[in-house]
């Protein structure tokens, strides 16, 4: 005796009392990290793209071509450089090329240095520990579009992601997605 097998099929509106096996392969879909908590999502609807996309770039480890491709493909409205010294000496890129890409996609670049050498993970985890320059304005007040943050090292990217994730979870009114580059 064979065990019955349950197969998910697309709801076509008609039901004849039997389950029909789906013959084509279902493509995988990327999910956003945060959606408004209004209704239950339908199994077959593709999620809408998030209103806000945040990219955190670890500049010491990112390759220049990877950074250039990210700028050209995601077209950030703002690039906030949180490094103490704004150096653009990655392999495969230079300052002139990168700033030409910023201009071509219409990105606003701002250098808002943070003293990363004086900060620890604890500073980003506590409520009153650290305030990231321009993060509140760029992510909560201008809550749509793509924003890139440049940080020195991958561990700084992890600390910033934890901070931004906590801030957006508590205060964001729109859907958002956060990714790390480098």
CATH value at residue 155: 3.40.1010
Residue 95's pLDDT is what?
A: 92
Residue 23's pLDDT is what?
A: 37
Confidence of residue 8 (pLDDT cuts 50, 70, 90): low
Q: Which two tokens stand for residue 109?
A: 């670049």
Spatial distance between the Cα atoms of 82 and 150, rounded to a whole number of angstroms: 6
- Assess if residue 130 is contained within a domain: yes
pLDDT at position 16 over 60: no
- Assess if residue 154 is contained within a domain: yes
Confidence of residue 173 (pLDDT cuts 50, 70, 90): confident
- Assess if residue 152 is contained within a domain: yes
- For the ranges 3-17, 65-79, 158-172, the lowest mean pLDDT is seen at 3-17
Tens of pLDDT along 80-125?
Answer: 999 988 888 888 889 999 999 999 999 999 999 888 777 777 777 7
Q: Which two tokens stand for residue 72?
A: 């050209």
CB distance 147 to 55 below 8 Å: yes
Confidence of residue 137 (pLDDT cuts 50, 70, 90): confident
pLDDT at position 38 over 50: yes
Higher pLDDT: 50 or 66? It is: 66
Higher pLDDT: 117 or 32? It is: 117
- Assess if residue 7 is contained within a domain: no
- For residue 148, the enclosing domain spans 52-181
- Assess if residue 1 is contained within a domain: no
- Assess if residue 12 is contained within a domain: no
- Assess if residue 39 is contained within a domain: no
pLDDT at position 130 over 90: no
- Assess if residue 23 is contained within a domain: no
Number of domains the chain is built from = 1
Which helix (H) or strand (E) is 109 found in, with range?
A: strand 108-111
Which pairing describes strands 52-58 and 108-111: parallel, antiparallel, or unpaired? unpaired
Count the Cβ atoms, other than its own, within 10 Å of residue 44. Answer: 10
């Amino acid at each position: 005796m064979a065990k019955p097998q349950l197969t998910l099929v697309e709801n076509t509106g008609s039901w004849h009392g039997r389950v029909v096996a789906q013959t084509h392969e279902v493509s995988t879909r990327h999910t956003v990290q945060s959606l408004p908590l209004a209704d239950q999502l339908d199994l077959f609807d593709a999620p809408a793209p998030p209103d806000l996309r945040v990219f955190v770039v670890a500049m010491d480890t990112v390759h220049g071509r990877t950074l250039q491709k990210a700028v050209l493909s995601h077209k950030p409205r703002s690039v906030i450089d949180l490094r103490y010294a704004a150096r653009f000496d990655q392999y495969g890129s230079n300052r002139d090329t990168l700033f030409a890409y910023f201009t071509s996609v219409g990105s606003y670049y701002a250098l808002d240095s943070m003293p990363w050498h004086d900060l620890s993970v604890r500073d980003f985890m506590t409520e009153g520990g650290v305030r990231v320059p321009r993060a509140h304005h760029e992510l909560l007040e201008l809550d749509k579009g793509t924003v890139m943050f440049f940080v020195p090292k991958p561990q700084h990217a992890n600390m910033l992601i934890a901070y931004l994730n906590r801030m957006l979870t508590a205060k964001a009114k729109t859907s958002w997605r956060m990714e790390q580059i480098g």
